[in-house]
Amino acid sequence: MLELDLEVVRDGFVLEVALSLGAGPTVLVGPNGAGKSTLLRAILGAVPVRRGRIVLEGRVLLDTQRGVSLPTEERRVAWVPQEYALFPHLSVRENVQFGAPGAAGRRRAGEFLDRLGLGPLAARLPGALSGGERQKVALARALAAEPRALLLDEPLAALDTETRASTRTLLSETLRQLGIPSLVVTHDARDLAVLAAPMVLLESGRVQSVGALSGFRAAPPTDFARSLLAPLSS
Amino acid sequence: MVSVLAIPLLALVVSTGAGDFFGGLRHPLALSALRLSLLTTTSSLALTLLLGTPLAWWMARHPGPTERVVSTLVQLPIVVPPAVSGLALLLAFGRRGLLGPLLESAGWTLPFTTAAVVLAELFVSAPFYVQSATTAFRRLDEDLLWTARSLGASPARRFFEVALPLSRPGVVTGAALSWARALGEFGATLMFAGNLAGRTQTLPLAIYTALETDLRPAKALSVLMVAVALGVLLLLGRGTVLEAVRARA
């Protein structure tokens, strides 16, 4: 369980979010500038939080009232940004092993390389990979670090249509097997359909609605939600 | 313009035959200066890397008014005339300088010692390294560093395994420029460390001294320094002369 109650103020923009995320994926949707990436970065500890609390599996990551703020490296929250942020000077294997030290870590990294079909690419540098392969490396790297929560910022946005379809299914299966709170930002209705996960609609820095995809489809709470889900009706 | 820049160097090389060059290099004045220059520039480069790298990292990570003041101070020695640098060093670390009595009470006398040569070289050359390394660190993709943090990497690991390897071209360029500047340092060294053979007489000072007695070591050392400078340029990937020659060949 990942419990959030946050207020972030950045350059006049105010983000106010109170949410409880269960195990498995939760999809975060909203128009550009709604504060989705800022929310992810706040959970990560990469942007200052003015007021609030983050509790992950009973462990307090942040509590502004008590002056608690764990540094990012101690939060055990893995983050996959939009462009994946693979270390360009490290091989695929070294990237995946980065957050998995020791013999046990190496074994775990090897398992994720195999599970995501990256074994044959292990010696390559990220620059020599396709978009889909890079996405898988970023996911394997995040998972090999044994995080307690996972943040994926538009994980499929940089992929072409064909790669996107296959990676979408793989992502959905992996997140379900993983069983940790995972927040997935997307702009694509097909991602919502395949992930079939609880949805959070964020607009202008506030949570407008939370619920299942079916509920959103039956009664879209805002114009943005209506246009986002339109492709699923056709 | 090109001829103004090239003719003096050409004249130097043309007027120094192989006999002059090898004979000059064997001259006691040249050998001792070579040894001293190698020792002092290696020492000043080591100090530059040791002290300049954390400073460059701090400046790149903490932009703001304090960083701008520090940056201006650090860059000043690049534009200050070497003679002024020498005088400033004397007034700071000389026997009657600002810190002179303090150093003397600890048993250290800096002026006119080999350590003074190292300090003068550090003073004039470190800014080139700090500037280049700061620029390289600033260009790092922030997301890479946050990703490393999210994967549990300590500050040291983030620096040595992510930031430094990715900034290597800028850091190496800065180190090479800084070393070349230290090797050519003359004015500040002459004023702060003097011109004592074997102790403070570096290559440029040996060239200056040889002019009054025997021109051969002066020419040999000058050709050597031009070759070293060319080598540094090639290392930095700016060897347009040789590239052009290679392209024509």
Condensed to tens digits (0 to 9), the pLDDT of residues A136-185 reads: 999 999 999 999 999 999 888 877 777 788 788 888 888 888 889 999 99
B2, part of any domain: no
Q: Is B143 strand, coil or helix?
A: helix
Q: Does domain A2-76+148-233 have CATH number 3.40.50.2020?
A: no
Residue of B nearest to A83 (CA): B143
Shortest CA gap A68–chain B (Å): 18
With contacts defined as CB-CB under 8 Å, which chain B residues touch A99?
A: 150-153
B53, part of any domain: yes
Structure tokens at B176: 């090479």
Residue of B nearest to A46 (CA): B146
- Give Cα A170 distance to the centre of its chain: 15
Query: Among partner residues B141, B161, B165, which is closest to A85 by beta-carbon distance?
Result: B141
Residue of A nearest to B165 (CA): A89
Q: Taking CB atoms and an 8 Å limit, are A98 and B148 in contact across chains? A: yes
Q: Taking CB atoms and an 8 Å limit, are A79 and B147 in contact across chains? A: yes
DSSP states of A29-45 as a string? Answer: E--TTSSHHHHHHHHHT
B79, part of any domain: yes
Shortest CA gap B145–chain A (Å): 9
pLDDT in tens, chain B (249 residues): 888 888 888 888 888 888 888 888 888 888 899 899 999 999 999 999 999 999 999 999 999 999 999 999 999 999 999 999 999 999 999 888 899 889 888 888 888 999 999 999 999 999 999 999 999 999 999 999 999 999 999 999 999 999 999 999 999 999 999 999 999 999 999 999 999 999 999 999 999 998 888 888 888 889 988 888 888 888 776 545 555 555 555
What CATH number corresponds to the domain at position B146? 1.10.3720.10
Which residue ranges does chain A devote to CATH 3.40.50.300? Answer: 2-76+148-233
Using left for φ > 0, alpha for ψ between -120 and 50, and beta otherwise, residue A87 falls in: beta
Over the stretch A66-101, which tens digit does the pLDDT of each residue have? 999 999 999 999 999 988 999 999 999 999 999 998
Q: Tell which of A91, A98, A108 to mutate to test the B interface (max B CBs under 10 Å).
A: A98
Q: Which domain holds residue B138?
A: 18-248
pLDDT at B244: 56
- Residue A187: closest CA among A205, A199, A204, A176: A199
pLDDT at B245: 56
Structure tokens at A132: 């889909």
Beta strands A24-29; A181-185: pairing state: parallel
Q: Taking CB atoms and an 8 Å limit, are B152 and A73 in contact across chains? A: yes
pLDDT at B64: 94
Q: How far apart are the first and last CA of chain B?
A: 26
What's the predicted TM-score (pTM) here? 0.85
Over the stretch A7-66, which tens digit does the pLDDT of each residue have? 999 888 999 999 999 999 999 999 999 999 999 999 999 999 999 999 999 999 999 999
Burial class (CB in 10 A: 0-12, 13-18, 19+), A142: buried
With contacts defined as CB-CB under 8 Å, which chain B residues touch A98?
A: 148, 151, 153, 161
- Residue A172: closest CA among A187, A158, A152: A152
**The total number of structural domains that make up chain B:** 1
ipTM of this predicted complex?
Answer: 0.92
B100, part of any domain: yes
Residue of B nearest to A76 (CA): B150
With contacts defined as CB-CB under 8 Å, which chain B residues touch A83?
A: 143
pLDDT at B248: 57
